[in-house]
Amino acid sequence: MDRKAQPIRIVIADDHPIFRDGLRRLLEAEPDLKVVGEACDGAEAVKFARQLKPDILLLDLAMPRHPGLEALQEMSSGQTSNSVRVILLTAAAEKNQIVEALQLGARGVVLKDSATQLLLKSIHTVMAGEYWVGRESVSNLVQFLRTLMQSSGEEARQKKFGLTPRELEIVSTVVAGYSNKEIAEYFKISEDTVKHHLSNIFDKLGVSTRLELALFAVNQGLPVKSIS
């Protein structure tokens, strides 16, 4: 049989059996698609990719055990055939996750709430040698990554959660370990003013202690200054 007439062989990797079953039924309703394996976590996905050598691996990004990015990293550094094209499935993805996935070798990132035709189009686009991100094909990956990383960095710089410039300065001193008295001396304001600022900051960020505030600032990438 001519290779072009053969169906596209697909492995589905997702930790939800109902989702896998629904996706398999959807794909196998297409005459040119064939599901050859189903994995419940990233480790099994890597094993099936190596053993079955599918054309496409639909890999869930957010599996609780051995998530998609870990599996992708293992595949990119292991013995997995380069002919296996990975499309990540996700309910939502941060831009830095998309960048990392594409850098690790993923050929596509598809939102789980996408229309059926978009998912099918993403598979055929990837099989044609192009990339797919979100709801559209990507022909120039290098330019796409450059643009995505630039916008991601700009978003991180702008992420202030409604804090004023002075409140961000107060957060910087908390991250540096300053006491209320030291903060007051640093900014030449009263301790009552410091407490007022901290109360507003706690309300805006939904935290209740200085430790929670410091951890939030670090984890969320707040644009804090280095305080010595």
Can you give the pLDDT at residue 60? 92
pLDDT above 90: residue 31: yes
Lowest-pLDDT range of 28-32, 58-62, 64-68, 188-192: 64-68
Number of Cβ atoms within 10 Å of the Cβ of 11: 25
- Average pLDDT over the chain, rounded to an integer: 84
Q: Give tens-digit pLDDT for 141-160.
A: 656 666 665 555 555 555 66
Instruction: Break the chain into its structural domains and give their ranges.
Output: 3-149, 165-219
Q: Give tens-digit pLDDT for 105-141.
A: 889 888 888 888 999 999 999 999 888 887 767 766 6
Q: How far apart are CA 46 and CA 49, in angstroms?
A: 5
Can you give the pLDDT at residue 52? 94
Instruction: Over range 189-216, report the average pLDDT.
Output: 90
Give the distance from CA 226 to its chain's centroid. 28
- 35 by Cβ neighbours in 10 Å (0-12 / 13-18 / 19+) ranks as buried
Number of Cβ atoms within 10 Å of the Cβ of 31: 7
Establish whether domains 3-149 and 165-219 are of one fold.
no
Instruction: Over range 10-39, report the average pLDDT.
Output: 95
Q: At what angle do helices 68-77 and 42-52 cross, to 10 degrees?
A: 40
* Rg of the chain taking only CA atoms, in angstroms: 23
CATH code linked to domain 165-219 = 1.10.10.10
CATH code linked to domain 3-149 = 3.40.50.2300
**Percentage above 70 pLDDT, the chain:** 82
Instruction: Over range 187-209, report the average pLDDT.
Output: 92
